């Protein structure tokens, strides 16, 4: 918890609860580029971003890792995790770490904390337990109690959407009566900023691999690809699915409560029609019927980002899927690499599919951790930029 005057860590275990005050000592302050003192919300925010562009979050978003980033992540490990909790997390006694982050803490994937610095640093991902997240304790409790309704007959349990046809999706709306509302739509706001969406080549084989992973184990899959991957088709087909997967562009908007944040799909035949313009906005996500959905995978950029809501995390696209009924969501904290993201999600879905064998319930959190470790093990993707952005929000 981060406040104006200081920060606190509340740990809740099976046998006790403890509250500890967090502070930044002189060595950590020097490394992080802040003043020493209590870990206030403002002091922590300055460790993430600064005018020089060398904050932890800014360095995490760069594909090339650096000794400076390693040192800062090691300093944050000391600042955020007291010695007793460090010992527990690295000692093998803890199977899962559930993080309920306050304020800007929601921007930091804890898997990136460096527990052993050096030329080849060891991260909490490598040495610690499986990690999952929740916007708040109340949300986590409600999600853990949520049970799916009966699946509609004849509906494939898995829906995968990707390889969208973007074409001129970044262009301004056509000169019609709708054009006057252009700036007040996701499409219009994106066009105003000069945006243009290029194709995502890796999303084509991502949806294929996802479909094959579940298909091999007898789970039927509906695939919406190319011209079929429209917003209208997705909205019509999302209900009744156990797993929903989207491989596309994600557009976060820090203004207006992320009202114009969206997932970008293929424009429909009438691209100037807001009901099928290709931009699935946060309000439209709220309206989806995902009551049978056990897992939503948002393989897109910044789907776990948005303006902060005090005490309740951030208004992200991931939150929209939870509100719509999904029990858990895999979403991203920053821009993702097309190939690395496709590989991570495909590996993750393979683990989820294997976990369903024999009628069992998969451990989604462990499957995601295994996928992250696999990507991290690839020489070209060792930097946290490639494996760290995807997090599991909700129960394991």
Determine the average pLDDT of the residues in 133-137.
89
* Cβ contacts of 243 within 8 Å, gap of 6 or more: 157, 158, 159, 214, 293, 294, 295, 296, 297, 352
Q: Is the pLDDT of residue 177 over 70?
A: no
**Which residues of the chain does CATH 3.40.50.1460 include?**
158-393
Give the pLDDT score at 6. 96
pLDDT at 312 (0 to 100): 61
Of the candidates 91, 97, 12, the residue with the CA atom closest to the CA atom of residue 369: 97
Sheet with 279-281, side-by-side order of all strands: 249-251, 262-264, 279-281
Tell me the mean pLDDT in the region 7-11: 96
CATH number of 158-393: 3.40.50.1460
Average pLDDT, the chain: 89
Least confident stretch, 253-257, 267-271, 301-305, 338-342? 253-257
Residue-level pLDDT at 173:
33
Distances 96 to 92, 146, 284, 319, 369 between C-alpha atoms, Å: 10, 20, 33, 22, 11
- Compute the average pLDDT of residues 147-170: 81
Q: Is 380 exposed, middle or buried (0-12, 13-18, 19+ CB in 10 A)?
A: exposed
Residue 186: the pLDDT is 55
Directed axis angle between helix 338-355 and helix 201-215, to 10°?
A: 10
Q: Are 88 and 79 in contact (CB under 8 A)?
A: no
Averaged pLDDT, 342-349: 97
Give percent above pLDDT 70 in the chain.
90
Q: For residue 313, what pLDDT is reported?
A: 65
- Supply the pLDDT for residue 191: 52
> Which region among 292-296, 315-319, 329-333, 377-381 has the lowest average model confidence (pLDDT)?
315-319
CB 196 within 8 A of CB 170: yes
The string of pLDDT tens digits covering residues 213-248 is 999 999 999 999 999 999 999 999 999 999 999 999
Please tell me the predicted confidence (pLDDT) of residue 14: 78
Point out the least confidently predicted range of 18-32, 82-96, 150-164, 338-352. 150-164
Q: 168 pLDDT band (50/70/90 cuts)?
A: low
Residue 22 clears pLDDT 80, i.e. is over it: yes
Rounded Cα gap, residues 187 and 170, in angstroms: 7
Q: Which bin fits 324, alpha (ψ -120 to 50), beta or left (φ > 0)?
A: alpha
Instruction: With beta carbons less than 8 A apart as the criterion, state whether 182 and 260 touch.
Output: no
Whether the predicted pLDDT of 185 surpasses 60:
no
């Amino acid at each position: 918890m981060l406040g104006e005057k200081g920060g606190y860590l509340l740990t809740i275990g099976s046998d006790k609860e403890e509250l500890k005050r967090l502070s930044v000592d002189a060595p950590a302050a020097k490394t992080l580029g802040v003043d020493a003192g209590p870990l206030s919300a403002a002091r922590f925010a300055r460790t993430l971003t600064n005018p020089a562009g060398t904050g932890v979050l800014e360095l995490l978003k760069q594909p090339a890792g650096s000794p400076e980033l390693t040192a800062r992540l090691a300093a944050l490990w000391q600042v955020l995790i007291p010695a007793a909790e460090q010992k527990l997390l690295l000692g093998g006694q803890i199977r899962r770490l559930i993080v309920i982050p306050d304020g800007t803490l929601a921007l930091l994937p804890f898997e990136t904390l460096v527990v052993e610095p050096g030329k080849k640093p060891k991260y909490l991902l490598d040495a610690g337990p499986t990690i999952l997240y929740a916007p708040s304790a109340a949300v986590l409790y409600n999600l853990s109690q949520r049970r799916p309704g009966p699946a509609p007959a004849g509906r494939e349990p898995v829906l995968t959407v990707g390889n969208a046809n973007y074409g001129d999706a970044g262009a301004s709306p056509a000169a019609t009566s709708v054009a006057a509302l252009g700036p007040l739509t996701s499409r219009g706001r994106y066009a105003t900023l000069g945006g243009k969406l290029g194709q995502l080549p890796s999303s084509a084989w991502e949806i294929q691999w996802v479909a094959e992973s579940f298909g091999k184990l007898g789970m039927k899959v509906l695939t919406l690809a190319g011209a079929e991957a429209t917003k209208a088709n997705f909205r019509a087909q999302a209900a009744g699915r156990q797993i929903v997967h989207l491989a596309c562009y994600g557009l976060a908007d820090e203004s207006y409560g992320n009202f114009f944040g969206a997932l970008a799909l293929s424009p429909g035949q009438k691209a100037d029609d807001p009901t099928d313009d290709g931009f699935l906005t946060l309000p439209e996500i709220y309206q989806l019927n995902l009551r049978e959905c056990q897992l939503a995978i948002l393989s897109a950029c910044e789907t776990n980002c948005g303006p902060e809501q005090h005490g309740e995390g951030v208004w992200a696209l991931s939150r929209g899927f939870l509100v719509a009924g999904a029990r858990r969501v895999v979403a991203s904290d920053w821009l993702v690499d097309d190939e690395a993201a496709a590989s991570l999600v495909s590996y993750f879905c393979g683990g989820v599919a294997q976990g369903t064998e024999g009628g069992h319930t998969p451990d989604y959190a462990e499957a995601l951790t295994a996928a992250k470790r696999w990507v991290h093990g690839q020489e070209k993707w060792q930097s946290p930029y490639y494996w760290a952005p995807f997090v599991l929000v909700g129960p394991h």
